[in-house]
Structure 1
């Protein structure tokens, strides 16, 4: 089992029935593009706070292609910590998720909630504004992460511009960089505000193809799947099947491999074979959409 990481090797020593629940566990796979994104985010955190017009970053990619996982990894690398000087917490990185029905008061409420502050009886937007800014300064926030930015387009155009103006205001007033994540619609949303668009540098997470880079990614996946035998996931024969069934999305690859690994174990195998990838109960995104469309037309 020398192909496995130590933690996966310990799990692989357990009986098959005890391992079935382990395959769906989320695990960080540090592929090159994700590491590049984290390095850029670290650079923003190190160099941009305090600048008059800090640079920002927009991570763009298809749904279920690793954006939120990168944001969560970055948050874990820069966790909240207790201050030794005062009875308070320090938040180097503050993360929120854009709501589909967001308004200015709700966005302030999200920021306050992420800081652990009760809203109390505060109702006026200007008071929430002042409280949010003061708390973010007091808690040492140096970078703001906004996930699912494309949800902004769910609201009317007037509200979209209002929230974009609020995001720009927070960056200017606090002099901190902002990292936003979303689908291509996130870029369309930013284009409604020329000043914001110019400050956000796009970082693309493209879909995966049947190539050597994907082979390296799948080889990394294999090191954390607690099967005792080598599967050769990154080799051309299995790689092609995985890319086709997952439709080039890393989140779908994870689900497919988890399902295929469980299928292999139930069939008495300690490695993933082609028949496991094709016979496991995994449904590709396009198939799920087609099934729903047929049901809705029926």
Structure 2
């Protein structure tokens, strides 16, 4: 196959890559690669259940715990990509069932609310009272019919005042009916235990530090 040897054992998509020049092949290698190993697929299944849940008055949440750099963000981004809806130019308000934000550094409520608004395309004014910011964020979540808010690196919110942040997250769910899918290192689990109501609302899932030998799907 153009000096590359017999590639008949490869699938058509991979065979096509052999026809690329060096620059094209390097670009393919540099792309993010999703490896759907067993627990990653299970995480998506659990998130899917939250998304489809009809429990809105006290929504269930999921906390996915794992070491740094073991694929938590990839799981979050892959799930988000699978649930992005095409924009309807005739719709007055966009529908955004799933959104992904990065937790603020420290238990800062204002950046959290701003991140939510940014995720739904509603950047607020630079100077706005936190009460107005909260009202705008909560109303925005309801306007776009959000069902699941993914929060990456939730361990970032640790620090003095974290209890107020936990109350804010709890109130967000109670007021809007949105479920939370959070990704963090194990330290955040100890923080959540300080708030019994929050601890009771989160299902815990732990990712292994090392992958076990199991079937995996590369998507």
2:209 pairs with 1:204: no
Which range is displaced more, 57-66 or 2-11? Answer: 2-11
Deviation at 1:13, TM superposition (A): 2.8
Structure-2 separation of matches of 1:161 and 1:10: 54
Alpha-carbon contact 1:149-1:186 (below 8 Å) kept: yes
- Quick one: structure 1 residues 204 and 81, their matched pair in 2 at CA, closer, same or farther if it must change by over 3 Å? same
Alpha-carbon contact 1:82-1:88 (below 8 Å) kept: no
Give runs of aligned pairs for residues 178-189 of structure 1, distance below 5 A.
178-189=180-191
2:41 pairs with 1:30: no
Q: 1:166 aligns with which of 161, 165, 168?
A: 168
Match of 1:11 in 2: 17
Deviation at 1:185, TM superposition (A): 1.4
Structure-2 separation of matches of 1:198 and 1:3: 51
Match of 1:271 in 2: none
Match of 2:4 in 1: none
Question: Does the residue aligned with 2:36 lie in a helix, a strand or coil?
Answer: coil
Match of 1:140 in 2: 145
2:116 pairs with 1:111: yes
2:182 pairs with 1:176: no
Structure 2: segments with no counterpart, 5+ residues: 1-6
Deviation at 1:17, TM superposition (A): 5.9
- Quick one: structure 1 residues 13 and 178, their matched pair in 2 at CA, closer, same or farther if it must change by over 3 Å? same
Structure-1 separation of matches of 2:94 and 2:25: 39
Please identify the structure whose Cα radius of gyration is greater.
Answer: 1
TM-score, length basis structure 1: 0.66
Deviation at 1:15, TM superposition (A): 4.3
CA RMSD, aligned part only? Answer: 2.2
TM-score, length basis structure 2: 0.87
Structure 1: segments with no counterpart, 5+ residues: 225-298
Question: Does the residue aligned with 1:82 lie in a helix, a strand or coil?
Answer: coil
Higher strand fraction (1 or 2):
2
Q: 1:77 aligns with which of 66, 82, 90?
A: 82
Higher relative contact order (CA 8 A, sep 6+): 2
- Quick one: structure 1 residues 4 and 64, their matched pair in 2 at CA, closer, same or farther if it must change by over 3 Å? farther
Deviation at 1:23, TM superposition (A): 1.4
- Quick one: structure 1 residues 19 and 171, their matched pair in 2 at CA, closer, same or farther if it must change by over 3 Å? same
Question: Does the residue aligned with 1:59 lie in a helix, a strand or coil?
Answer: strand
Structure-1 separation of matches of 2:76 and 2:108: 23
Structure-2 separation of matches of 1:184 and 1:175: 26
1:19-69 Cα offsets, whole Å, 9 max, x none, are: 23421210222222111111111111111442x211110111111111111
